Amino acid sequence: MSVPAHKPLVYIISAPSGSGKSTLVNELLKSVSDLEFSISYTTRAPRGSETDGRQYYFVTRTEFEKMIRDGEFLEHAEVFGNYYGTARRFLHDAENNGRDLLLDIDVQGAAQIKQKLPEATSIFILPPNRKTLEERLRKRSEDCEEVIQRRLITAAHEIENYDRYSFILINDHLEESIEILQAIVRSERLLRAGRPLSADESKFVEMADCCRLANVRERVKPILDSFRTSDAPGRD
Ligand code: 5GP
C-alpha cells in the first residue's frame, strides 16, 4: 500500500519593502520546524551579500522567459521592472519531504497562488504607519531618494490589497511580531490536525485569531489613512 503524500500547508507572506519582512521570515524559519522556504527566481541583480541559490536564483530574462514557456512556474510577476517567480518544484519537494512551504512573494503572486491553491494561508505585513516605513527605508540606506519615493508610492498601492489576505500582521515591535507569526503558523497546523487542543495550543490559536482580517480592520484603518493622506513625496 502506498503511503499517502503529505499535503503541504502553504504560507504566503507579502509586505511592502521596508516592512521588516525579511527579518521576520528569517526568524520564523529558524524557530519553526518543517517549514521550507521557496527560493524564488529573479532577473534582478544580487544585492550586497546575496548569493545565488540562497536568497534567490539569479537568472537572465532569456532564462526566465524560457522557464515561463516550459511551465516551470507556479506563479510569476514583474515587480519593479524585474521578473520574479516561484518554481513548481518547491511545492513538489515540500510534498515529498513532508514539510510545509513558505512563499515570500508580492501581491500579484499571492493572488495567483490563491487561485491555484485556495487553502493557502496568506499573511500581509503592514508597517505601523507611513512615517515609520519611510524611516526604515532611509535607515537601511540601500536605495537613493528617488527609489525610496517610488517604494513608498508602491507601498501605498500594495497596502490597499491587504483585505485579500487571511491574516494581517502590524510589524511595530519585532519580538512581538515574531511571536505572532510563529503563532499563525502553529495555529494553522493545529487547526488542520483537527484534534482537541491543550491550553498552550489554544493560546497560539487565540494569538493568531487576533490577526485575522475580520479582527484587525479597526487597527488597519489609521495605517491606511496615513498612506492615503501622504501621497506627496516626503510628507509625514
Ligand atoms: P526584492 O527585490 O526587494 O527582494 O523583492 C521585491 C518584491 O518581489 C518583494 O515584494 C518580494 O516579496 C517579491 N518577490 C520575491 N520573490 C517573488 C516571487 O517568486 N514571485 C512574486 N510574485 N514576487 C516575489
Question: pLDDT confidence of 176, banded at 50, 70, 90?
Answer: very high
CB atoms within 10 A of CB 79: 17
Asked whether the predicted pLDDT for residue 234 surpasses 50, the reply is no
State pTM to two decimals.
0.94
- Which of 57, 59, 106 for a ligand 1 pocket mutation test, highest count of atoms within 8 Å of Cβ? 106
85 CA closest ligand 1 atom index: 19
153, part of any domain: yes
From the list 162, 150, 166, the residue with the least C-alpha distance to 223 is 162
* CB of 44 shorter than 6 A to ligand 1: yes
183, part of any domain: yes
56 CA closest ligand 1 atom index: 16
pLDDT in tens, 112-122: 999 999 999 99
| Centre of ligand 1 from the C-alpha of residue 170, in Å | 19
- Which of 38, 56, 79 for a ligand 1 pocket mutation test, highest count of atoms within 8 Å of Cβ? 79
| Centre of ligand 1 from the C-alpha of residue 102, in Å | 13
- Buried/exposed 22-53: b ≥16 CB within 10 Å, e otherwise: eebbebbeeebeebbbbbbbbbeeeeeeeeee
Asked whether the predicted pLDDT for residue 4 surpasses 80, the reply is no
From the list 12, 13, 21, 11, the residue with the least C-alpha distance to 151 is 21
The residues, any chain, with a CB within 8 Å of residue 116's CB and separated by 6 or more, are 74, 75
14, part of any domain: yes
From the list 120, 132, 141, 126, the residue with the least C-alpha distance to 188 is 120
Instruction: Decide: helix, strand or coil at residue 18.
Output: coil
Instruction: Give the neighbor-by-neighbor strand order of the sheet with 82-87.
Output: 56-58, 40-42, 82-87, 73-79
> What is the predicted pLDDT for the residue at 231?
52
Asked whether the predicted pLDDT for residue 206 surpasses 50, the reply is yes
Most confidently modeled of 142-146, 147-151, 193-197? 193-197
Evaluated on CA atoms 41, 44, 49, 51, the torsion sign reads positive
59, part of any domain: no
| Centre of ligand 1 from the C-alpha of residue 2, in Å | 37
Q: What is the CATH number of the domain that holds 210?
A: 3.40.50.300
| Centre of ligand 1 from the C-alpha of residue 105, in Å | 5
Q: Quick one: which H or E segment has residue 227?
A: helix 213-228
85, part of any domain: no
* CB of 27 shorter than 6 A to ligand 1: no
Q: What percent of the chain has pLDDT over 70?
A: 95
Q: How many helices (DSSP H) and strands (DSSP E) are in the chain?
A: 9, 9
Q: State the residue range of the domain holding 165.
A: 10-37+104-225
42, part of any domain: no
The domain tally of the chain equals 1
* CB of 105 shorter than 6 A to ligand 1: yes
Residue with the smallest CA separation from ligand 1 atom 12 is 105
Residue 28: HSE in the Cβ half-sphere, 13 Å Cα cutoff: 30
121, part of any domain: yes
* CB of 158 shorter than 6 A to ligand 1: no
114, part of any domain: yes
Alpha carbons 32 and 82: distance in angstroms, whole number: 31
